[in-house]
Amino acid sequence: MENKQSSSPASFVDSTVVPGDVVLDLSSMTNQTIKLGGGLRQDCDAISATKAGTLRFSKPNKYWIESSQKRYVPCVEDTILGIVVDSKADNFLIDIKGPAMGFLPVLAFEGGTRRNIPKFEVGTLLYLRVVKANFGMNPELSCTDASGKAAEFGPLKDGYMFETSTGLLRKLLSSPACPVLEALGKKLSFEIAVGLNGRVWVNAASPDTIVVVANAIMNSECLSGAQQIIMVDHLLKNIQ
């Protein structure tokens, strides 16, 4: 499929684009279905970028723009960490670090009925999934996966939460494991939950492990893989 594409999209993939760049010309690609991810917008026959970042392509037909920000724009099917702010009759108000508060329906739990509505204190940290995210409306969240099972969603107990940028999060979630996490995982045992809205939760048996893991992750944003491993070694030597 890449061969059939005109030269312009191929040259843009994996390179930096700025808002306004036309990255795909649909007139040259007929009878194809293309999926557009975040940061791309369709104007008749031209696909243009609305965010500054790198254009990425994954087979067979997904295009999206990757950038690192501190603000979060809710997208459907994202897993995020939210903080309970208030509970109303029908939903909980959740702070998801986005432009608007998220709504978590009280029934959106596995086996949730009107009789067993969970009670969350203000300030509880929840691991959630975004169900609906439309521009201008409050996003709707859920504590179950698509099939209705709990699947690790729900309140997180203990541990410590800190905030990072979205670029760092994607590195943490990338599939050959991120060097920082690998290096830390070899020596320490800890539990980690990454929310795509810029929040990371860490839990471990002892407080100093948590502090080391949290600081190592926060510092690894600008370092290359090898540097990250060196930094982790340093930190671990200091605590042992």
Partner 1 sequence: MDARLANTWRLTLNEKNFIKTALLSEIRIDGRKPFEFRNISINFGREDGSAEVQLGQTRVMGIVTAKFVQPYRDRPNEGTLAIYPEFSPMADPSFEAGRSGESAVELGRIIDRGLRESRAVDTESLCIVAGKLVWAIRIDILILDNGGNLVDAANIAALAALMTFRRPECSLGGEDGLEVIIHPPEMRDPLPLIVHHLPIAITFGFFIDENVVVIDPILNEEAVMAGRMIATVNANGDICAIQKAGEGVSQRVIMQCLQLAITKAADITKQIKAAVEAYNSERALQKIKRETTCVGNNVKGDQNQTLDNKGISELVGKYMERLKLISVESYASQNISAEETKSLRRGTDSNCIKFNSTPLSWDPYSKCVDLEFLKASVALQGLSTASEEKEATGKEKGSEAESAGPYEDVNSKWSAVDASTTEMHVIGPKTLKDAVKPKNKGKKKASSVI
Residue 138 interacting with partner 1 (CB under 8 A): yes
State the DSSP code for 178. P
Q: Is 193 in the site for partner 1 (CB under 8 A)?
A: no
Residue 236 near partner 1 by CB under 8 A: no
Output 115 or 119, the one with its CB closest to partner 1: 119
Q: Position 227: which residue type?
A: Q
Task: Answer yes or no: are the C-beta atoms of 198 and 173 closer than 8 Å.
Answer: no
Q: At residue 142, what is the residue type? A: S
Binding segment for partner 1 (CB under 8 A), chosen from 31-39, 58-66, 173-181, 200-208, is 200-208
Q: Please tell me whether residue 210 binds partner 1 under the rule CB under 8 A.
A: yes
Nearest to 177 by CA among 133, 209, 225: 225
Q: Which of residues 60, 99, 111, 148 is near partner 1 by CB under 8 A?
A: 99
Strand partners, 129: 79, 142
Residue in 14, 45, 90, 208 binding partner 1, rule: CB under 8 A: 208
Nearest distance in Å: CB 97, partner 1: 8
- Give yes or no for residue 152 binding partner 1 (CB under 8 A): no
Question: Which C-beta is closer to partner 1: that of 126 or that of 181?
Answer: 126
DSSP per residue over 52-119, as a string?
-EEEEEETTTEEEEE---SS----TT-EEEEEEEEE-SSEEEEE-SSSS-EEEETT-STT--SS----
CA distance 202 to 214: 7
Binding-site ranges for partner 1 (CB under 8 A)? 83, 85, 95-101, 121, 123-125, 138, 156-161, 201, 207-208, 210-212, 214-215
